[in-house]
Structure 1
């Protein structure tokens, strides 16, 4: 964030009416500023490069460059966190956004308060948003037989490099828990949880908590 109170957001949505609604909702929050709007994926990447926002709110179905490809570019270049707008009847897009390193997922029919809360959560480094939504997403991946691994993850042997506490944190991520919930479950400070999550992601060479959560489920942790 550029200040302690303001979250700078780029909204990428090809439908003008929907985009206007998102901008209006986010603009109503005193700590969120919409600094750019994009009607296609290419423009979303351009704005991320030009404006260096804290977060890009990214639709998956857009012209010129789809949201998954745009997410991949934004994340690979370290331009911003990406919060993906999705629907559960578009699993292939969710799957692709996960592999691209999206920091969170939000249903397009989310209430205004949920949208604002999700932006704050992801911008705050939490990554996993709306635990009920995240758990449903993880469950759908786990139940979908025959799919390739949802993340370009490491070999299971890397688990040997995790400390017992880091394995507990990874297990909690697999359950879709937030930092606060992990702190309560494991009896530690929330700031300590954030440190452990960062170490887990680094050791597993993953881009987001969501990837770690799904990998944990894939490995049965």
Structure 2
């Protein structure tokens, strides 16, 4: 399909977003054309502001507009526990639960040699530096339960062991309400290994 150059550029821009294909990008582009000009200007300002004003917390790596972030600044948080997560979205998910009251450390990814992601590409060194603080008593490894997440958790636990801090891993297994017949082998294996007495 042939579009004017400005629409083609907008479609190409939308296609850079995850999960947006050619048809959805075209639909979004034509939606933008129908928007009021002031709404389009505000939308574009919001995009620019997100890129210019947000940064990563120098302590935990969470996304923030002030440094340190609101979680690290909160004096009511339990400073004896650090939950290590792969991504900023994981912090948001944990906070939505409203059960965990400790601090976080965001790795910004997981080990994946196939994708060229080694320890140097992750926010690991600053975690080890944080653990030298006498306040920290436990590190919870909350990386994803896949090959990359598991290998990252094992790697980090080996780094923490010499420091002498308790290291735990989030429980994995069957979700509440899930059916055995739909569970994959890894999930079933984790569920068997993590079984508890009732």
TM-score after normalising by structure 2: 0.29
Higher relative contact order (CA 8 A, sep 6+): 1
Q: Which has the higher helix share?
A: 1
Q: Which has the larger radius of gyration?
A: 2
TM-score after normalising by structure 1: 0.27
